[in-house]
Chain A
């Protein structure tokens, strides 16, 4: 009888809502199955006497469980065979593609699409059974004609779509050296295509070869579908670059990472830095396609604190993450709360500053500035573009000094160097591609200049800087 009364009424009521808590339980990082999550903020103590902004950072790191084999791939290689690829370039591209086939296993699915004026589905989506046959077909590729890039990517995505499922890593790798001139060719249209592909969980990695490709288009396609973008100066590097991309694909541990950040009432969400998400009132949502083993990606949210007369008792950010284990497609969830404090004096605010978050936020802001500079330079406003680079360098220098962050020094020098190259047309052409690649890398929160060096073929140990020689020679102009 007691049970009945209690449960009848308890069916309608449970208990009270708790109001006040100053506890932060234990550590702020959780060991989830294949993804490590940790929360931090640029300022944890906020002034109660004036509005202030702080950056909330959600750090994601892939963890590969012991003794586990990699997830099977569902890959489409889309290769530009327009006239401009003739000679060494197309041969290097073919060799790189063959190298990819050799690295795949019988459980992987691959397709090869080539395009010039029209599109050829050279190898429709198939399991990697007869490698010889696939390699022979690739060898027969010849180049001539224009560049129907949009169509090539569409057909590539259609091939991946045939076998796309949770248990596979679904990816299109696009290689192009030229300007798209057949079909939709604006960065905006390619960006929109990228977003629609991301919705169906297909990412596109774009490799831009040489100096003649449209880097806006290529970076936007990659950025919006959450794939990688690499500026490949020499076609001889292609085999290496493809290998590195394959290594990343082989070591993906978590996919479809949906991050939802809910902030308490006294906060106002301003924007995401770097990536684009959806902001509704006090809830911000963003999705990352994948994180690989030992790879770190982050989401950064800028929020403003407005102290109000009727104070909410707690200031917090509630971060909820849903993701798939890439190996067995099992679903996982992680939930953490980051608590802030209200303080009355500035010393306490300063004591709560997290330098790492400040550094990352600074780089993101600096990237937004360089994008503005590129825009101005495109409009022919050389002097203004140069001024922005210089101002950016000075801003970075200020932050470097104030917070003692020597790691910002290369960016300071980089911006001064960029300012110098604005006036020189020839130098700028190459510099612009470099900048686009760097901007894309920072926006997708990976460390610049070492895009692939976290990922090693599973058999190799310890870590070897096999890629930094080629990437650093690009950076040190």
Chain B
């Protein structure tokens, strides 16, 4: 599963150490997460899957041991490896079950961290008491309190912790008579309570992480079939547009009219090509695209494209700054330059409205480098890797109501690479900066 950025989980960050594994069970009792049909499993997940399918982990409301009063969460425990293991889970309203397998070592370390230390300088020596936390096998996990009690004179008592740690106990050794130890109970209970509280927070955090990831995969799946459907839908109207614009050609008299018609025809030809390519992509077939270089002046092309995009940029209140230094003629594929640059501009329009966008161009040694930089909200660290993948779109408040399949960046990068270059992202929280390079073919 993907790492989540600290911005999303600032306070829950540390609690993930308690989660060994996330799991989900559907209403039929089958393990639905981790799901090999959605994503391949890691070794750890495969081992858990086998463990579950062999019937060793049985979770059902009735079987849930230690139903904490009034809490929707339950514990189930079993023995494996070094010792006792715990699953912490809850049944959802749709009949599915979500839970975590607790990381045993982190859990023990957490218990120890919550308990007092034995700093003799700060602890009062008046209460001569020693405490030992014992685990399920009666072995000492942790000791605190006085260490110089004479075992001959001391008496001890064992107090079990409340469930789910009911197999653990705290041994109290005191020099005083045993009747004074009853008041230690609250300490033990509060310790257990804070442990459970921590586990609850962990589970909630883990659950959100899980559902975010699940939604992501479902969205990805949806998009593939969507593309397939829609491309067919669009092929027909597109052919019509082409047809009618060609018919119109004969009846248009004015210069302006002819100019607009010319643009319509150009664009529809371009679109036909693109749709044909996307259909090929959706079917997973190989398409051999060729780079068609021709002599052009990059800055001229950029200026034209910026003109075309100006209405859109103005509507989004984007101020444009140009730093163009590519005025020499070069041999480049116009379509690729157009598509990559336009993709970056429309992304700026979509995701960085009301910002300042700077376009820089440089050329030298047969390479053209163009940077499109904005000072908008930038891109979350967790998303930076994924935006180059097909069908991924950033989903947050800024993109509500924005349509798009999210194919753009992955194809833009592939096109840049076909042209001997690349497309890179540099993003800090003060904006996004994309640079693409195209290399003149030999």
The interface of chain A, by Cβ under 8 A from chain B, is: 1-3, 5-7, 9-21, 23, 25, 113, 117-122, 145, 148, 150-151, 153-155, 157-158, 161, 164, 166, 182-184, 186, 188-190, 192-193, 195-197, 199-200, 258, 260, 278-281, 287, 313, 320, 322, 330-333, 335, 337
**Which chain B positions have C-beta within 8 A of A1?**
260, 264
Q: How far is the CA of A157 from the CA of B14 in the complex (A)?
A: 11
Q: Is the CB of B147 within 8 A of A154?
A: no
**Which chain A positions have C-beta within 8 A of B142?**
118-119, 148, 151, 182-183
Q: Is the CB of A13 within 8 A of B119?
A: no
Q: A196: which of B18, B381, B415 is its contact (CB, 8 Å)?
A: B18
A428 to chain B, nearest CB (A): 27
Q: Is the CB of A145 within 8 A of B14?
A: no
> What are 17 A-to-B residue pairs whose CB atoms are below 8 Å?
A2-B264, A7-B312, A13-B275, A13-B405, A15-B411, A17-B390, A18-B287, A118-B118, A118-B142, A118-B143, A151-B141, A155-B117, A182-B140, A183-B140, A188-B82, A330-B428, A333-B384
Q: A15: which of B241, B263, B381, B415 is its contact (CB, 8 Å)?
A: B415
Q: Is the CB of A17 within 8 A of B141?
A: no
The interface of chain B, by Cβ under 8 A from chain A, is: 3, 5-6, 13-14, 16-18, 39-43, 81-82, 103-106, 108-110, 112-113, 117-120, 140-145, 147, 227, 230-231, 234, 238, 241, 260, 263-264, 267-268, 271, 273-278, 280-281, 286-289, 308, 311-312, 339, 342-343, 346, 381, 384-385, 388, 390, 403-405, 407-408, 410-412, 414-415, 417-418, 420-422, 424-429, 437, 439
Q: How far is the CA of A137 from the CA of B207 in the complex (A)?
A: 44
Q: Is the CB of A16 within 8 A of B411?
A: yes
**Which chain A positions have C-beta within 8 A of B13?**
200
Which residue of the partner chain B has the closest CB to A182? B140
Please give me the 8 A-B residue pairs with the lowest Cβ-Cβ distance, nearest first.
A16-B277, A281-B40, A196-B106, A158-B113, A192-B105, A17-B281, A118-B118, A154-B109
Q: Is the CB of A121 within 8 A of B14?
A: no
Q: Is the CB of A25 within 8 A of B264?
A: no
B243 to chain A, nearest CB (A): 15
Q: A322: which of B117, B118, B278, B385 is its contact (CB, 8 Å)?
A: B385
**Which chain A positions have C-beta within 8 A of B429?**
330-331
Q: Is the CB of B230 within 8 A of A12?
A: yes
13 more contacts with CB within 8 A, not counting A120-B117, A193-B105, A193-B109, are: A14-B274, A14-B408, A15-B278, A16-B281, A17-B277, A17-B411, A121-B119, A151-B112, A157-B113, A196-B106, A196-B109, A281-B39, A330-B428
Q: Is the CB of B425 within 8 A of A333?
A: yes
Q: Is the CB of A25 within 8 A of B421?
A: yes
Q: How far is the CA of A439 from the CA of B44 in the complex (A)?
A: 24
Q: Is the CB of A11 within 8 A of B286?
A: no
Q: Is the CB of A12 within 8 A of B403?
A: yes
Q: B339: which of A5, A15, A119, A186 is its contact (CB, 8 Å)?
A: A15
**Which chain B positions have C-beta within 8 A of A3?**
308, 311-312
**Which chain A positions have C-beta within 8 A of B147?**
117-118, 145
Q: Is the CB of A17 within 8 A of B231?
A: no
Which residue of the partner chain A has the closest CB to B264? A2
**Which chain B positions have C-beta within 8 A of A190?**
105
Which residue of the partner chain B has the closest CB to A260? B385
Which residue of the partner chain A has the closest CB to B425? A333
Q: B103: which of A12, A13, A192, A313 is its contact (CB, 8 Å)?
A: A192
Q: How far is the CA of A54 from the CA of B384 in the complex (A)?
A: 29
**Which chain A positions have C-beta within 8 A of B414?**
17-18
Q: How far is the CA of A57 from the CA of B301 in the complex (A)?
A: 40
- Assess A154 versus B385: contact at CB under 8 Å? Given A2-B264, A18-B414: no
- Assess A18 versus B141: contact at CB under 8 Å? Given A2-B263, A118-B147: no
A-B contact count (CB 8 A): 233
Q: How far is the CA of A13 from the CA of B238 in the complex (A)?
A: 13
Which residue of the partner chain A has the closest CB to B41? A280
Which residue of the partner chain B has the closest CB to A30? B424
Q: How far is the CA of A330 from the CA of B410 in the complex (A)?
A: 25
Q: How far is the CA of A14 from the CA of B81 in the complex (A)?
A: 53
A256 to chain B, nearest CB (A): 9
Task: Name the residue among B13, B109, B308, B384 with the largest chain A CB count within 10 angstroms.
Answer: B109
Q: B417: which of A9, A21, A196, A260 is its contact (CB, 8 Å)?
A: A21
**Which chain A positions have C-beta within 8 A of B105?**
184, 189-190, 192-193, 195-196
Q: How far is the CA of A183 from the CA of B111 in the complex (A)?
A: 12
Which residue of the partner chain A has the closest CB to B289? A18
Q: Is the CB of B260 within 8 A of A2?
A: yes
A76 to chain B, nearest CB (A): 12
**Which chain A positions have C-beta within 8 A of B422?**
25
Q: Is the CB of B119 within 8 A of A14?
A: no
- Assess A186 versus B287: contact at CB under 8 Å? Given A13-B274, A21-B418, A118-B143: no
Q: Is the CB of B385 within 8 A of A155?
A: no
Q: Is the CB of A19 within 8 A of B287?
A: yes
B309 to chain A, nearest CB (A): 8
Which residue of the partner chain A has the closest CB to B241? A5
Q: A200: which of B16, B39, B339, B420 is its contact (CB, 8 Å)?
A: B16
Q: Is the CB of B277 within 8 A of A188?
A: no
Which residue of the partner chain A has the closest CB to B414? A18
B305 to chain A, nearest CB (A): 12
B261 to chain A, nearest CB (A): 10
**Which chain A positions have C-beta within 8 A of B231?**
13
**Which chain A positions have C-beta within 8 A of B417?**
18, 21, 23, 25, 337
- Assess A320 versus B143: contact at CB under 8 Å? Given A12-B230, A16-B274: no
Q: Is the CB of B288 within 8 A of A20?
A: yes
Q: How far is the CA of A385 from the CA of B108 in the complex (A)?
A: 36
Task: Name the residue among A10, A13, A157 with the largest chain B CB count within 10 angstroms.
Answer: A13
Q: Is the CB of A6 within 8 A of B271?
A: yes
Q: How far is the CA of A25 from the CA of B441 in the complex (A)?
A: 12
**Which chain B positions have C-beta within 8 A of A18?**
287, 289, 411, 414-415, 417-418
Which residue of the partner chain B has the closest CB to A144? B147
Q: Is the CB of B14 within 8 A of A186?
A: no
**Which chain A positions have C-beta within 8 A of B108?**
150, 154, 183-184, 189
Q: Is the CB of A13 within 8 A of B278?
A: yes
Q: How far is the CA of A305 from the CA of B101 in the complex (A)?
A: 36
Q: Is the CB of A183 within 8 A of B141?
A: yes
Which residue of the partner chain A has the closest CB to B267? A6
- Assess A192 versus B267: contact at CB under 8 Å? Given A14-B274, A16-B278, A157-B113: no
Q: How far is the CA of A151 from the CA of B117 in the complex (A)?
A: 10
B383 to chain A, nearest CB (A): 10
Q: How far is the CA of A189 from the CA of B429 in the complex (A)?
A: 39
Q: How far is the CA of A166 from the CA of B274 in the complex (A)?
A: 44
Q: Is the CB of B439 within 8 A of A25?
A: yes
Q: Is the CB of A117 within 8 A of B143?
A: yes
Which residue of the partner chain B has the closest CB to A122? B119
Q: How far is the CA of A330 from the CA of B431 in the complex (A)?
A: 12
Q: How far is the CA of A13 from the CA of B233 in the complex (A)?
A: 12
Q: How far is the CA of A113 from the CA of B118 in the complex (A)?
A: 11
Task: Name the residue among B142, B267, B421 with the largest chain A CB count within 10 angstroms.
Answer: B142
Q: Is the CB of B267 within 8 A of A19?
A: no
Q: How far is the CA of A18 from the CA of B390 in the complex (A)?
A: 13
- Assess A331 versus B381: contact at CB under 8 Å? Given A15-B411, A18-B417, A21-B418: yes
- Assess A196 versus B17: contact at CB under 8 Å? Given A12-B403, A23-B420, A188-B82: yes
Q: Is the CB of B286 within 8 A of A313?
A: yes
Q: How far is the CA of A182 from the CA of B281 in the complex (A)?
A: 61
Q: How far is the CA of A332 from the CA of B428 in the complex (A)?
A: 7
**Which chain B positions have C-beta within 8 A of A23?**
417-418, 420, 439
Q: How far is the CA of A322 from the CA of B387 in the complex (A)?
A: 14
Q: How far is the CA of A292 from the CA of B98 in the complex (A)?
A: 41
**Which chain B positions have C-beta within 8 A of A186?**
82
Q: How far is the CA of A414 from the CA of B23 in the complex (A)?
A: 47
**Which chain A positions have C-beta within 8 A of B390?**
17
**Which chain B positions have C-beta within 8 A of A2?**
260, 263-264, 267
Q: Is the CB of A150 within 8 A of B112?
A: yes
**Which chain A positions have C-beta within 8 A of B426?**
332-333
